[in-house]
């Protein structure tokens, strides 16, 4: 395994629900990322955190709200989602986001279905 864990692995929610996705990395990295992976589309970067500060918000709707309480944990809070938000949500980490050449290590993802 990569040292990045995500929970839950599967989630079904209604459009009025509020839920949270959790990511934890055990690699001692300082940067964490949220990606969205939809069918037959490239991975889409959503958010980047470096040393617990958000450094990139890739024009993501406000119904997605990230939180990074420390460098090992990352959350994605979800509320009033739409069916088109159904996708695989992947968390990744890297040693430091400020470096321009860094490998990102991914978790297994949370498969989200919005009804």
Partner 1 sequence: GESVGLHLPTLSVQEGDNSIINCAYSNSASDYFIWYKQESGKGPQFIIDIRSNMDKRQGQRVTVLLNKTVKHLSLQIAATQPGDSAVYFCAEGGTSYGKLTFGQGTILTVHP
Report the run of H or E that residue 29 belongs to, with start and end: none
Place of tokens 């949370």: 110
**Cis peptide bond upstream of 8, omega within 30:** yes
Q: Is residue 2 a contact residue for partner 1 (CB under 8 A)?
A: yes
Q: Is residue 100 a contact residue for partner 1 (CB under 8 A)?
A: yes
User: Which C-beta is closer to partner 1: that of 79 or that of 88?
Assistant: 88
**Of 13, 45, 51, 60, which lies in the binding site for partner 1, with binding defined by CB under 8 A?**
45
Q: Residue 3 corresponds to which tokens in the numbers above?
A: 């040292």
Q: Is residue 33 a contact residue for partner 1 (CB under 8 A)?
A: yes
40 closest CA partner among 95, 88, 92: 88
**Of 11, 78, 87, 90, which lies in the binding site for partner 1, with binding defined by CB under 8 A?**
90
Q: Is residue 109 a contact residue for partner 1 (CB under 8 A)?
A: yes
Per-residue 3-state assignment (H helix, E strand, C coil) for 66-100: EEEEECCEEEEEEECCCHHHCEEEEEEEECCCCCC
Q: How far apart are CA 73 and CA 14, in angstroms?
A: 25
Stretch in the footprint of partner 1 (CB under 8 A) among 14-22, 64-72, 78-86, 100-108: 100-108
User: Which C-beta is closer to partner 1: that of 5 or that of 72?
Assistant: 5
- Residue numbers at the binding site for partner 1 (CB under 8 A): 2, 4, 6, 31, 33, 40-43, 45, 48, 50, 55-56, 90, 92, 94, 97-109
């Amino acid at each position: 395994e990569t040292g990045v864990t995500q929970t839950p692995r599967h989630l079904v929610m209604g459009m009025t629900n509020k839920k949270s996705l959790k990511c934890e990395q055990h690699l001692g990295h300082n940067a964490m990322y949220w990606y969205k992976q939809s069918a037959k589309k490239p991975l889409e970067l959503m958010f980047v955190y470096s040393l617990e500060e958000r450094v990139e918000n890739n024009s993501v709707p406000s119904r997605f709200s990230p939180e990074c309480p420390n460098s090992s944990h990352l959350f994605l809070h979800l509320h009033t989602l739409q069916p088109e938000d159904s996708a695989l949500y992947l968390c990744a980490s890297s040693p430091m986001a400020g470096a321009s050449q860094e490998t990102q290590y991914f978790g297994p993802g949370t498969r989200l279905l919005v009804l």
